[in-house]
Amino acid sequence: MAKSIGEIKEEFAQAKEYQWLELIEKYREDPRAGVERLIQKCEKQMEKLCAERERLEGMRKFEREYEHLGYVCGIDEAGRGPLAGPVVAGAVILPPDCEILYLNDSKQLTEMRREELYEEIREKAVAVGVGIIGPRRIDEINILQATYEAMCEAIGKLAVMPQILLNDAVTIPQVKIPQVPIIKGDAKSLSIAAASVIAKVTRDRMMREYDDLMPEYGFASHKGYGSAAHIAAIKKYGPSPIHRATFIKNFV
């Protein structure tokens, strides 16, 4: 007796990726329209995965170019522009041929996807380092120097020493490890994209914690950036302990 379409649908739903082709061939001759739609859906899913793997391979260009040197480390930051909170840098060393599907520049991802990728990066990376520089230090030395400090701190927290750094656009002063600055690197390098996710998720989590302590500013929603609601809150309540004095002087 032939399986019902519902049973076949469940079979496709439970199948692992390596089993998809076998299932497609198994039910290819089934004349029912419902089964044909299941096969078409599975084939589209396979095409989508193939395209995603091609995209990821393109993002390994710089890693392939420099992997002969040893460990390749991606560096990126989050939080250079906000009015409040720290600047956070991420440093990530991924193993060769590491597959993390849908990894991309953190700004191109939803919050849910970033959170999922954060955990996967932590699980699969050879090493992850995070550097955090707070608002008082930002006011002391300016945001660019604070960003460099955060990046140096992130590199220093890696469990292994990289032989080459792939940086998103910048060259970090006083770092002796060879560096390759890449414009829009978080969209061109898998390692830098991973670092951008680590930095962004770390900072967003911190801003949500600050929101619990100071809900009147709305940090959970705007993450410290200069939204109209945020500026209105600064004018109403005055600066909080995590506001950057040099960034908000026009509003206070």
Cβ–Cβ under 8 Å, residues 144 and 87: no
Domains of the chain: 5-58 (no CATH), 61-237 (3.30.420.10)
Give the tokens for residue 203. 């900072």
- Tokens for 58? 């393109």
Q: What is the pLDDT of residues 14-70, one digit of tens each?
A: 988 888 889 999 888 899 899 999 999 999 999 999 999 999 999 999 999 999 999
Mean pLDDT by 10 residues, the chain (252 residues): 86 88 90 91 93 96 97 98 98 96 93 97 98 98 98 98 97 96 96 98 98 98 97 96 96 77
Backbone CA torsion sign across 176, 180, 184, 189: negative
Report the mean per-residue pLDDT for the chain: 95
Query: Is residue 244 a contact partner of residue 146, using CB atoms and an 8 Å limit?
Result: no
For residue 188, the number of C-alpha atoms closer than 13 Å in the C-beta half-sphere is 13
Query: pTM of the predicted model, to two decimals?
Result: 0.91
The type of residue at 190 is L
Sign of CA dihedral 137, 139, 145, 150: positive
